[in-house]
Amino acid sequence: MDVQIEESWKNELKQEFPKAYFQQIVAFLKTERIQGKTIYPPGSLIFNAFAQTPFDAVKVVILGQDPYHGPGQAHGLCFSVQDGVPPPPSLINMYKEIESDMGVGMPPRYGNLTKWAQQGVLLINAFLTVRANEPASHSKIGWEEFTNAVIRKISEEKKGVVFILWGNFAQEKQRLIDETKHYVLKAAHPSPLSASRGFFGCKHFSKTNELLLQQGLEPIDWKLP
């Protein structure tokens, strides 16, 4: 099975692609397309997080849950939207925290986080696809087994990665991370429903940079675009 994924990741995850669960994902997506369903992100962008952040470049992991399910939004990076799409509410709250934490002004109408990804921030959703206008519609097709394998691989093969886990769903992934080798930052989700209950004031953006600097690594330039 020729999976269109960046070469370093293809090598790291090669044991996953022949497994029954992954073949079921592929079969499910093909069936959805045959049935005329619209799937986000577009096929060429399903593995965009991996394309923008090769395995050796990963310094930080931000974990999302589900791709955006509206037209033109999702492009394979969690919390990020394509050019020309205003930032959704959770991302606006992330910008507010960056401004409070770092004193960095953020763009009110720009939501493409590719710049972060290209600096080593793996922006990965637990589920990599979704049916248009149906949130969590692909949450049971096998993606979580695949993305759990991604987290385990980073934990096993790398050292000193900063894992940023916002909200209960992301924090369940803590069990996959070897905290003797890596750093875990936890807070409430930036959604408007929960941001005031521990996301605002978490200072995860400056804390991440402090942890990178302690290891002699380049900090992340969070300013956009």
CATH of the domain at 152: 3.40.470.10
Structure-token pair, residue 19: 């497994």
pLDDT digits (tens, 9 = 90+) for 181-192: 999 999 999 999
User: Residue 194: what pLDDT?
Assistant: 97
Q: Is residue 72 in some structural domain?
A: yes
Q: pTM for the whole thing?
A: 0.97
Are 113 and 80 a contacting pair, CB within 8 Å? yes
Domain count, the chain: 1
Name the one residue in this structure whose structure tokens are 């953020």: 106
Structure-token pair, residue 162: 């900063």
Q: How many CB atoms lie within 10 A of CB 168?
A: 11
Q: Is residue 33 in some structural domain?
A: yes
Q: DSSP letter at 134?
A: B
User: Residue 1: what pLDDT?
Assistant: 54
- For the question of residue 101 being annotated catalytic, the response is no
pLDDT digits (tens, 9 = 90+) for 24-39: 999 999 999 999 999 9
Domain carrying residue 106: 7-214
Helix count (H) and strand count (E) of the chain? 8, 6
Closest Cα to residue 67, out of 82, 52, 54, 51?
82
Are 52 and 78 a contacting pair, CB within 8 Å? no
Q: Is residue 50 in some structural domain?
A: yes
Q: Is residue 136 in some structural domain?
A: yes
User: Residue 47: what pLDDT?
Assistant: 97
Q: Where are the alpha helices (DSSP H) in 42-175?
A: 48-52, 89-102, 114-117, 143-157, 167-171
User: Residue 33: what pLDDT?
Assistant: 95
Secondary structure element (H or E) that encloses residue 123, with its range: strand 121-125
Q: How many CB atoms lie within 10 A of CB 163?
A: 24
Q: Is residue 182 in some structural domain?
A: yes
Catalytically annotated residue among 2, 66, 178, 221: 66
- Give per-10-residue mean pLDDT for the chain (225 aa): 87 97 97 97 96 98 97 97 97 98 96 98 98 98 98 98 98 98 98 97 98 98 97
User: Residue 3: what pLDDT?
Assistant: 81
